[in-house]
Chain A
Amino acid sequence: QKEVEQDPGPLSVPEGAIVSLNCTYSNSAFQYFMWYRQYSRKGPELLMYTYSSGNKEDGRFTAQVDKSSKYISLFIRDSQPSDSATYLCAMSAQAGGTSYGKLTFGQGTILTVHP
């Protein structure tokens, strides 16, 4: 079993829809949770970052972490065609300071938002 599971989709939604992307994980030591966005033929870029449980909002994007269920989500409100990309969840168990920033990634979900 993979440490991080993510439904690869593909997911296709109409413009304006609310999108929900999810990951589950098995390593209870994970404390740092990230969502990366990867456009076609580009490298991934950090979209959202959350420490431990809770919610974080940034514009149309909301990241949720439920450590008790080992489940994280990314919600996109009022989705736009420019949101079409692969979304990757990533997690890390190491604390700051001497952290090497080692990340464990999910498989990535391919999202298409059509006009």
Chain B
Amino acid sequence: DVKVTQSSRYLVKRTGEKVFLECVQDMDHENMFWYRQDPGLGLRLIYFSYDVKMKEKGDIPEGYSVSREKKERFSLILESASTNQTSMYLCASSLTGSYEAFFGQGTRLTVV
């Protein structure tokens, strides 16, 4: 059974903190993605990676960075958390040439 695992379901952080969201997939997928999901806005792409150490900005990269040191792991970093980054964060992975993205359960981040 395919699996994308996000390290936390719920997180509460303070404004200004550096926040790490971790994602691991066990399907040997080349591509990994970070989205945020907000009511009325749907899923918006923050960053994606198509290979180890490779990354590209998505539609809303400001305030975020990513790291992919191993194929199975993709980390999202909030350099200095702000209240407008309170959201549901979803990690996904896919095989190159496939349009099926497999999603993790999501991390609901609250920044206070």
Chain A residues with a Cβ under 8 A of chain B: 4, 6, 8, 32, 34, 41-46, 49, 88, 90, 92, 96-108
8 extra interface residue pairs, beta carbon distance < 8 Å, beyond A32-B99, A107-B42: A42-B105, A88-B43, A90-B43, A99-B98, A100-B50, A101-B31, A103-B45, A105-B35
Q: Lowest 10 A-B CB distances belong to which pairs?
A: A43-B103, A101-B94, A107-B42, A105-B43, A105-B42, A96-B97, A46-B100, A100-B50, A44-B103, A32-B99
Chain B residues with a Cβ under 8 A of chain A: 4, 31, 33, 35, 39-45, 48, 50, 56, 58, 90, 92, 94-101, 103-106
Q: In the bound complex, how far is the Cα of B47 from the Cα of A102, in angstroms?
A: 10
Query: What A residues does B43 contact at CB under 8 A?
Result: 44, 88, 90, 103, 105, 108
- Contacts across chains A and B counted by CB atoms under 8 Å: 73
